[in-house]
Amino acid sequence: MKKMIFHRMTLLAGCCAIVALLGACGGGNASKKAQERSVPAAAQSGVLEIDDLLAGADSLVGKTVTVEGVCTHTCKHGARKIFLMGSDDTRTIRVESGDLGGFDPQCVNSVVRVTGRLDEQRVDEAYLARWEAQTQTGTGETHGTTEAGCSTEKAARGETGSTVGERIADFRARIAARQAAEGKAYLSFYYVTASSYEIQQ
């Protein structure tokens, strides 16, 4: 009788152990599935949203990325630049056509997917000094139709000011603030040099 009770208790303990083990395995799978669901589908497919690209830009410089956003503007000088917007107009990235030549004007107000290399432009005192010198000699590249510059590019870089002098002064103030806070005497602006693009339907 004692042997029978012991045998049943051993059997019951074994069953409990198996159920617990299966539960743990199932829980792991459920947890893994929940994690997969929490990652946006676009990120799983390798396509970044603008906000995500900008948030991790410093670690992606020099790498090939695929990004998707609404095209808000194309450069009027040969459509060699477009701007893709993220969740709002403060989260915008410039895309340069590189060897592609120019972008289709139909990009504007469409969702555009771009693959290319993420590059960094640093604005420091040397950059600002060159800009001042080029402005004085009239040899600098212009964006937009006035010295206020292209409003879309200014928004992407968080610029203020209506003249070149005001814009440069604004950059100097921002650089000084960053140097005081982080020890970095420059501002970083990121852009994509496109190798391909596609207007999404």
The structural domains of the chain, with segments of one domain joined by +, span 2-38, 43-199
pLDDT of residue 178: 95
Q: CATH topology for 43-199?
A: OB fold (Dihydrolipoamide Acetyltransferase, E2P) (2.40.50)
pLDDT of residue 129: 95
Token pair for 80: 């060699």
- pLDDT tens track of the chain, all 201 residues? 444 444 444 444 444 444 343 344 444 444 443 333 333 444 445 899 999 999 999 999 999 999 999 999 887 777 889 999 999 888 999 999 989 988 998 999 999 999 999 999 999 999 999 999 988 887 655 554 444 457 778 777 878 777 889 999 999 999 999 999 999 999 999 999 999 999 986
Q: What is the pTM of this model?
A: 0.69
